[in-house]
């Protein structure tokens, strides 16, 4: 992920040579995306803007994986007369990497949309059984990395926006119920995938206002607010048999619940034709190669890790480009957010993060603050021989150099996945040595590329009504494995509730903002035995010190979605109606 000098120079030469034409193309296409309006250029192209991506084992159909890619941020339910829908001249794609031995994507799902005005004589979106703009889609699938595609759905139905009861339910509208429209849009492909494409309640929950007000979350002396409550997005949801997603040659039954052959990487994108030409006849002509203008893998990467000057570049490249283009790696090794979790730097300037502090003297020896060396002093030593930190294993990735303290935890958590190799096991059973074997709890390592959701499909789904189900995902699984009997009484591989949660994939319920802030503050280090600074093995009777407890109980103040999720595919809540009363913002 490195923007080489020659690349910069050639780009500038093209800009000078073609001047205004190139500017128009870039502006009209919008070379970026990935979360809610997170990069400068994509804000001008919402129809191609990825907002979120989810991948999880279906809780009511465990032989399948559900992947959800959302687009079009912050849709007002009452946004008429031109309501948002999926765009024409956009390729919406979901990419799957299931084999580290093959470069690039292995499976691609591609949706393209067509619009029809059924009654162009009215300004209403729906009237007398006719709909403007009515969208349908074609779904294609490639099982060979994009070399060829097979059409598996034609004229797939997209439900209309939930405009209001007169438009949907009355005799002068569509004379039906929105639930019927929503459910009838669920379609089975010719190859066994269940598919939904249409408007939904935005499932992401976060105090956007507080987060971007210099980290004021939870808000100091004010009410926390879900900035996306009562907004809609457009969603593409696929429920895919695990057998379809497995790499070639993998056994049909996993060897265990962390079988490495069952790991997949998932990312989503949108692409547009390179040229958009406006004519004097008010026609628009699209031509040229298809150009990626948007992508997303892990939530909040481009939004809260990549600095503003690099956001547009990040969105132009693919996860596989990040193997060699390494300039942006530095923002994972020394994340900006960690500066506000260090009292020697700017911690005091962000009081909302007061419970989040990075280890600077873990076990009396290891400093993980920005610019420090972390575990690099162990490079090449007998202490790391045979572990993931050994150069003969994954050490070149995980201990690349001095001054990169978070290469050992934040980097694999957010960028490569975590292998079930020492030291990436829970401290349970390590007897105080973080470099000893411990209790396995994650294996979603797939180093083929950069920013993707990584999911081990062998991990069972935690029932949503399980008393142990938690929106803290893998963080909660680690806490249970460290502190709750019988899980903390042995170092055996066994299913711990929430092992199927973010960052092992991403469930709709997962509080990813909270989890990522906890990860930046060093909670993964603590889970594997690199305890917080206030842990003293001579006097501490429990690893759950005040510092660790503060991190585990930290909350942004917004912990769940504004609407309940469904128990069946596509699991998303139906979209808000344009006539519903929005929540009070007081």
Residue 43 has pLDDT above 50, yes or no: yes
Sheet holding 232-241, edge to edge: 50-57, 64-75, 232-241, 194-201, 187-188
Where does the pLDDT of residue 300 fall: very low under 50, low under 70, confident under 90, or very high at 90 and above? confident
Q: Looking at residues 237-255, what average pLDDT do you find?
A: 97
Residue 22 has pLDDT above 70, yes or no: no
Residue 45 has pLDDT above 80, yes or no: yes
What pLDDT was estimated at residue 341?
A: 95
Query: Over pLDDT 70: what percentage of the chain?
Result: 92
What pLDDT was estimated at residue 582?
A: 63
Q: Helical H runs in 137-216? A: 165-168, 178-184, 208-211
Instruction: Identify any residues that bridge with 49 across adjacent strands, giving them in sequence order.
Output: none
Where does the pLDDT of residue 281 fall: very low under 50, low under 70, confident under 90, or very high at 90 and above? confident
Task: Give, for 337, the enclosing helix (H) or strand (E).
Answer: helix 336-339
Q: Pull the structure tokens for residue 74.
A: 């912050």
Classified as helix, coil or strand, 291 is strand
What pLDDT was estimated at residue 37?
A: 56
pLDDT in tens, 554-567: 999 999 999 999 99
What pLDDT was estimated at residue 367?
A: 98
Q: Looking at residues 92-112, what average pLDDT do you find?
A: 96
Residue 360's alpha-carbon distances to 367, 466, 535, 537, in angstroms, are 4, 37, 12, 16
Q: Pull the structure tokens for residue 37.
A: 């309006």
Query: Over pLDDT 90: what percentage of the chain?
Result: 78
Where does the pLDDT of residue 384 fall: very low under 50, low under 70, confident under 90, or very high at 90 and above? very high
In 3D space, the residue among 107, 59, 62, 52 whose CA is nearest the CA of residue 237 turns out to be 52
Choose between 244 and 40: higher pLDDT.
Answer: 244
What's the chain's average pLDDT? 90
In 3D space, the residue among 493, 490, 510 whose CA is nearest the CA of residue 502 turns out to be 510
Q: How far apart are CA 404 and CA 373, in angstroms?
A: 6
Residue 30 has pLDDT above 70, yes or no: no
Residue 439 DSSP one-character state: B
Residue 510, Cα to own-chain centre: how many angstroms?
11
Residue 229, Cα to own-chain centre: how many angstroms?
19
Contact 104, 145 (CB under 8 A): yes
Classified as helix, coil or strand, 22 is helix
Where does the pLDDT of residue 264 fall: very low under 50, low under 70, confident under 90, or very high at 90 and above? very high
Q: Kindly tell me the sign of the dihedral angle through the C-alpha atoms of 337, 338, 340, 345.
A: negative
Q: How far apart are CA 418 and CA 414, in angstroms?
A: 9
What pLDDT was estimated at residue 584?
A: 44
pLDDT in tens, 139-173: 999 999 999 999 999 999 999 999 999 999 999 99
DSSP secondary structure of 537-586: TTT-S-S--HHHHHHHH---S--S-SSPPPSSTT-PPPPPPTTSPPPP--
Task: Give, for 267, the enclosing helix (H) or strand (E).
Answer: strand 263-278
What pLDDT was estimated at residue 41?
A: 67
Q: Pull the structure tokens for residue 380.
A: 């090449």
Stretch among 5-14, 179-188, 510-519, 531-540 having the lowest mean pLDDT: 5-14
Q: Pull the structure tokens for residue 42.
A: 């994509």
E strands, 120-209, are 126-127, 130-131, 134-142, 150-157, 187-188, 194-201
Q: How many Cβ atoms sit within 10 Å of the Cβ of residue 122?
A: 14
Contact 226, 205 (CB under 8 A): yes
Q: How far apart are CA 79 and CA 90, in angstroms?
A: 21
Q: Pull the structure tokens for residue 483.
A: 């502190």
What pLDDT was estimated at residue 36?
A: 59
Q: Pull the structure tokens for residue 410.
A: 């934040």
Whether residue 81 is preceded by a cis peptide bond, meaning omega within 30 degrees of 0, is yes
Residue 282 has pLDDT above 80, yes or no: no
Q: Pull the structure tokens for residue 45.
A: 């192209």
Classified as helix, coil or strand, 116 is strand
Q: ∠ CA(35), CA(33), CA(503), 5° rounding?
A: 40
Q: Looking at residues 348-362, what average pLDDT do you find?
A: 96
For 203-234, letters b (16+ CB in 10 Å) and e give: bbbbbbbbbeeebbbbbeeeebbbbbbbbbbb
Q: How far apart are CA 241 and CA 421, in angstroms?
A: 28
Where does the pLDDT of residue 324 fall: very low under 50, low under 70, confident under 90, or very high at 90 and above? confident
Residue 472, Cα to own-chain centre: how many angstroms?
15
* pTM, rounded to two decimals: 0.92
Q: Looking at residues 351-365, what average pLDDT do you find?
A: 96
Q: How far apart are CA 355 and CA 368, in angstroms?
A: 17
Residue 25 has pLDDT above 80, yes or no: no
Q: How far apart are CA 355 and CA 552, in angstroms?
A: 9
Q: Looking at residues 343-351, what average pLDDT do you find?
A: 94
Residue 586 has pLDDT above 50, yes or no: no
Residue 506 DSSP one-character state: B
Q: How far apart are CA 296 and CA 319, in angstroms?
A: 9
What pLDDT was estimated at residue 374?
A: 97
Instruction: Identify any residues that bridge with 108 across adjacent strands, giving them in sequence order.
Output: 95, 142
Q: How far apart are CA 31 and CA 52, in angstroms?
A: 17
What pLDDT was estimated at residue 42?
A: 67
pLDDT in tens, 229-244: 999 999 999 999 999 9
Q: 3-class secondary structure for 359-388?
A: CCCECCCECCCCCCCCCHHHCCCHHHCCCC
Contact 433, 496 (CB under 8 A): no
What pLDDT was estimated at residue 502?
A: 97
Q: Looking at residues 12-36, what average pLDDT do you find?
A: 36
């Amino acid at each position: 992920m490195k923007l080489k000098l020659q690349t910069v120079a050639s780009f500038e030469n093209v800009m000078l040579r073609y001047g205004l034409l190139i500017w128009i193309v870039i502006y009209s296409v919008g070379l970026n995306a990935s979360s809610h309006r997170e990069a400068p250029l994509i804000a001008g192209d919402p129809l191609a803007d990825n907002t979120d991506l989810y991948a999880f084992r279906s809780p009511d159909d465990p032989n399948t994986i559900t992947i959800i890619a959302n687009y079009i941020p912050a849709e007002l339910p009452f946004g008429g007369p031109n309501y948002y829908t999926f765009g024409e001249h956009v390729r919406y794609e979901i990419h799957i990497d299931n084999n580290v031995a093959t470069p690039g994507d292995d499976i691609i799902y591609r949706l393209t949309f067509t619009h029809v005005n059924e009654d162009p004589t009215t300004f209403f979106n729906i009237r007398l059984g006719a709909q403007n703009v009515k969208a349908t889609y074609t779904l294609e699938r490639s099982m060979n990395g994009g070399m060829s595609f097979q059409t598996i759905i034609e004229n797939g139905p997209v439900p209309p926006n939930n405009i209001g009861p007169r438009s949907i339910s009355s005799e002068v509208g569509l004379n039906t119920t929105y639930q019927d429209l929503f459910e009838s849009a669920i379609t089975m492909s010719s190859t066994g995938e269940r598919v939904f494409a249409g408007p939904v309640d935005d499932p992401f929950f976060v105090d956007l206002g507080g987060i971007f007000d210099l980290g004021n979350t939870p808000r100091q002396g004010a009410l926390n607010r879900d900035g996306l409550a009562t907004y809609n997005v457009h969603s593409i949801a696929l429920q895919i048999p695990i057998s379809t997603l497995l790499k070639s040659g993998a056994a049909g039954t996993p060897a265990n619940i962390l079988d490495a052959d069952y790991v997949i990487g998932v990312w989503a994108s949108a692409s547009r034709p390179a040229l958009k030409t406006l004519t004097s006849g008010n026609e628009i002509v699209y031509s040229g190669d298809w150009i990626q203008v948007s992508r997303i893998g892990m939530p909040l990467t481009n939004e809260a890790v990549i600095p503003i000057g690099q956001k547009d570049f990040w969105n132009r490249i693919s996860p596989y480009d990040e193997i060699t283009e390494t300039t942006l790696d530095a923002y994972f090794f020394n994340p900006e957010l960690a500066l506000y979790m260090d009292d020697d730097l700017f911690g005091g300037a962000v009081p909302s993060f007061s419970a989040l502090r990075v280890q600077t003297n873990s076990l009396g020896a290891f400093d993980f603050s920005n610019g420090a060396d972390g575990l690099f002093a162990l490079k090449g030593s007998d202490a790391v021989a045979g572990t993931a930190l050994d150069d003969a294993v994954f050490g070149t990735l995980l201990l690349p150099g001095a001054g990169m303290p978070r290469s050992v935890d934040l980097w694999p958590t957010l960028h490569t996945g975590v292998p079930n190799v020492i030291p990436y096991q829970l401290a349970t059973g390590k007897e105080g040595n973080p470099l000893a074997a411990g209790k396995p709890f994650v294996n979603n390592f797939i180093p083929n590329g950069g920013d993707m959701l990584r999911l081990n499909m062998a991990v069972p789904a935690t029932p949503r009504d399980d008393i142990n189900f938690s929106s803290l995902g893998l963080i909660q699984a680690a806490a249970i494995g460290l502190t709750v009997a019988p899980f903390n009484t042995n170092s055996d591989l066994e299913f711990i509730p929430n092992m199927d949660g973010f960052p092992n994939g991403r469930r709709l319920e997962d509080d990813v903002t909270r989890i990522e802030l906890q990860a930046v503050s060093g909670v993964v280090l603590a889970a594997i035995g690199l305890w917080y600074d206030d842990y003293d093995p001579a006097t501490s009777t429990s690893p759950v010190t005040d510092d660790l407890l503060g991190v585990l109980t930290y909350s942004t103040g917004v912990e769940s979605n504004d609407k309940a999720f469904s128990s069946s595919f596509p699991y998303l809540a139906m979209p808000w109606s344009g006539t519903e009363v929005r929540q009070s913002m007081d």
